[in-house]
Amino acid sequence: MDQREDARANEEVVRNSLDRFIANYFGEAINLRQRIYYVSAVLGILTGIASILTNVLIPGNTKEATLSAVFCWTIVALVSLYGFWTKRHYKACFVTCFLISWIGFPIAFFCTGGINGGVPFYFLMMVYTMVLSLKTRDRNYLVTGAIIIDVLCCVVAVIYPEGVISITPESRVVHVLSGFVDAALFGLVETAYVFREYSRESRKAKEMLHMMEQQAGHDELTQLYNRRYLMDYLEAAFVTDKNFYLAIFDIDNFKSANDTYGHLFGDEVLIRFSEFMKVAVGKNNISARYGGEEFIMVIWEQQEERVLELLENIRRSMEYAHWRQNKQLKITVSAGVECRQNVKNVAELIEMADSKLYQAKRGGKNRIVR
């Protein structure tokens, strides 16, 4: 029983350590370029191990080929560990790309049969890493330098073939296949990871943009549309030939209630009334906070009786609402309604509806005037 508990505890420790490692180096809180480097570093270390094992296991392979693979892997491993330990990922990435593409690969190139070996595939793998991980200027410098060095190595190998350590035909086939498979797997895994992460970042950006658009077009307190959105909506609505109604609501005696019970109660009143509007507004209509305690509803309805019925439902809902601050308290609303076909523009529509609202106020409040 104790052994099982110890094993379970050890498993939990390992799992927690792995979770912390993933969160510290591959979590969403980490910069995307930084995450790409860490993935490249891990893949580079694994690819280097595969290359060393291939060189060791190839029958008749040269000692120089194996040592060159160990040399390149040692650079990748040591600099990657430095990057992981210090989290100076960009510096580690730059140093790795420089040392491998400008020094390591030329050495490995001449030690593994030159253009007949598998190093060119690893060169392409390193260029791909530089493209993904480095900033534009550094990437241009290193990639250009690496291409020049690689071309020079090929030219030297052709002009002075004696400078290339020859390998057996069997070793050459294995080197080429190994380089191709390593580079292909590296590219596929890294591309899949980058595609997934960029898709996730793009989705997050779209969600944030949508949220910002929502906030820009909505009133922060009530979450109804705000005045700016409303005015743009009305301007667009006037372009159509369809008729609609506009109602302006004003909460009666709001200032008095706000002063008596406090601003938090005032906010509660505004939120409660906005909820009544949200319930009544329907799919085709919109409701907005026009300013202060004034609200506007745009109703795409041709029958005036149905418009007035909808507005009366909102008025009654507010009239019979209960308030925890005072159970006897009644908060009411008044409204003025105007029809689009009776006016020429948005300003006149709002002015006419506001005039009807004024009549409702003068007529005793808690009523709707058409």
Q: Report residue 60: phi and psi, to 5°.
A: 75, 15
Output the pLDDT for position 7: 67
Residue 1 has pLDDT above 60, yes or no: no
Q: In this structure, are strands 294-299 and 333-339 parallel, antiparallel, or unpaired?
A: unpaired
pLDDT tens-digit map of 216-265:
788 889 999 999 989 989 998 888 878 999 999 999 999 998 888 899 99
**Burial environment of residue 187 by CB neighbours within 10 A (0 to 12, 13 to 18, 19 or more):** middle
What SS3 state is found at 112?
Answer: coil
In the chain, the amino acid numbered 192 is A
Domains of the chain with CATH codes: 12-212 (no CATH), 227-369 (3.30.70.270)
Task: Please tell me which residue, 285 or 23, carries the higher pLDDT value.
Answer: 285
Output the pLDDT for position 264: 92
Output the pLDDT for position 6: 65
pLDDT band at residue 365 under the 50/70/90 scheme: very high
pLDDT tens-digit map of 149-164:
989 999 998 898 888 8
Q: Which residues pair with 248 in a beta bridge?
A: 296, 336
Output the pLDDT for position 119: 86
Residue 213 has pLDDT above 70, yes or no: no
Q: What is the mean pLDDT of residues 268-273?
A: 94
Q: What is the mean pLDDT of residues 322-328?
A: 83
Task: Show the CA angle centred on residue 282, arms to residues 267 and 364, nearest 5°.
Answer: 55
Output the pLDDT for position 5: 66
Output the pLDDT for position 326: 81
Tally the C-alpha atoms within 13 A of residue 27's C-alpha that lie toward its C-beta. Answer: 8
Share of the chain above pLDDT 70, in %: 95
Output the pLDDT for position 297: 96
Mean pLDDT over all residues of the chain?
A: 87
Q: In this structure, are strands 333-339 and 368-369 parallel, antiparallel, or unpaired?
A: parallel
Output the pLDDT for position 209: 67
Q: Which among 127, 140, 98, 129 has a CA at the least distance from the CA of 194?
A: 129
Q: Report residue 88: phi and psi, to 5°.
A: -90, 70
Output the pLDDT for position 245: 95
The H or E element spanning position 142 is helix 136-159
Question: How far is Cα 274 from Cα 294, in angstroms, rounded to an integer?
Answer: 11
Q: What is the mean pLDDT of residues 269-280?
A: 94
In order, the DSSP letters of 13-67 are HHHHHHHHHHHHHHSTTS-HHHHHHHHHHHHHHHHHHHHHHHHHHSTT--HHHHH
Contact 133, 40 (CB under 8 A): yes
Output the pLDDT for position 336: 95
pLDDT band at residue 3 under the 50/70/90 scheme: low
Output the pLDDT for position 215: 67
Task: Show the CA angle centred on residue 336, arms to residues 331 and 338, nearest 5°.
Answer: 155
